[in-house]
Amino acid sequence: MLSLCICGTAVTSQYLAEEYRVNTPMLQSFINYCLLFLFYTVMLTFQSGSDNLLSILKKKWWKYVLLGLADVEANYLIVRAYQYTTLTSVQLLDCFGIPVLMALSWFILYARYRVIHFVAVAVCLLGVGTMVGADILAGREDSSGSDVLIGDILVLLGASLYAVSNVCEEYVVKKLSRQEFLGMVGLFGTIISGIQLLIVEYKDIAGIRWDWKIALLFVAFALCMFCLYSFMPLVIKVTSATSVNLGILTADLYSLFFGLFLFGYKFSGLYILSFSVIMVGFILYCSTPTRTAEPAESSVPPVTGIGIDNLGLKLEENLQETHSAAL
């Protein structure tokens, strides 16, 4: 389901950019954050105790501002990349976030990996290299070299920010609650994306020639994103952010098939080869479970004595007990 949601966002973004020349990634994300706000943030206002919206804002508002900023910019960079490079390349280059995610999980979530996990990630990156080679051999007549490079860089930056967001998501979902994560992302995501929308895209939005097809594509994108955000915490809670990101690489195959029929991509055997290599890496990763290390304990030794001040009291208690027993 998550892979289909990701594929849906990719296809609708590519279709808006190529068929209707609509390049408004922030508007697309803003609609999704509004949906999260209306559903999950409003839900938090009716919670009681420490789960209430005001209580969360008083204690951790600045942390969620940073989380919302990372999530908003990750979405913006990924969607913007569709304007410069092909849909399948965006999907496959996006797996660059996996090693970043593993590094963050090691230091923040205390995840510990075995050698086979690092080998698996290396295999996935090899598949990414195969995909880039296929794009170069295909020529990409519809894009210049500089545009392709810009698109690839945007994907890599967006993937890194996604890794930050996913690690925070795993921490909040497992330590706190799914509703808190989605509610806070909905709140600050709406504010940040709304401000950025007014700054960078107001001219693009004014130039859109709205019709029912464009509106339908916007609705489809927003629904796919809303479902992705709603269901991913459920999967992360029972697995991990790294395994989820490896699993949703199956969206690449869906995207490839859509690209062949909708956008006239030229088929290359290297596409299937790269996908197969990434799947081999995914299977290697899942073949051995990871473990969680305990946080480093304090180096201060525990107190084993009762102290000089309490020694007299303790002796007095023992004398009273002995006297009582003698009587």
According to the model, what pLDDT value does residue 303 have?
Answer: 42
d(CA 188, CA 95): 26
Say whether pLDDT at 272 is over 60. yes
More confident residue, 16 or 326: 16
Give residue 138's Cα distance to chain centre.
Answer: 30
Asked whether the predicted pLDDT for residue 82 surpasses 50, the reply is yes
Give the DSSP letter string of 72-84: HHHHHHHHHHTTT
Q: Report pLDDT for 145.
A: 43
Please compute the mean of the pLDDT values over residues 244-272 and round it to a whole number. 73
User: CB count, 10 Å around CB of 279?
Assistant: 18
- Token pair belonging to 41: 């943030």
Q: Is pLDDT of 304 > 70?
A: no
Instruction: Provide mean pLDDT across the span 201-226.
Output: 90
pLDDT (0 to 100) of residue 308: 42
pLDDT beyond 70 at 310: no
Give the residue, 149 or 220, on which the prediction is more confident. Answer: 220
Distances (CA, A) of 162 to 94, 98, 270: 9, 9, 27
Quick one: pLDDT band at residue 253, thresholds 50, 70, 90? low
The residue behind tokens 């860089």 is 153
Q: Which of 22-31, 84-93, 272-281 has the lowest mean pLDDT?
A: 84-93
Taking the model in full, what pTM does it have?
Answer: 0.78
Q: How confident is the model at residue 221 (pLDDT cuts 50, 70, 90)?
A: very high
Q: What letters, b where the CB count within 10 A reaches 16 and e where it falls short, cover 62-92?
A: eebeebbbbbbbbbbbbbbbbbbbbbbbbbb
Distance CA 276, CA 92 (A): 12
User: Where in the chain are the domains?
Assistant: 8-293
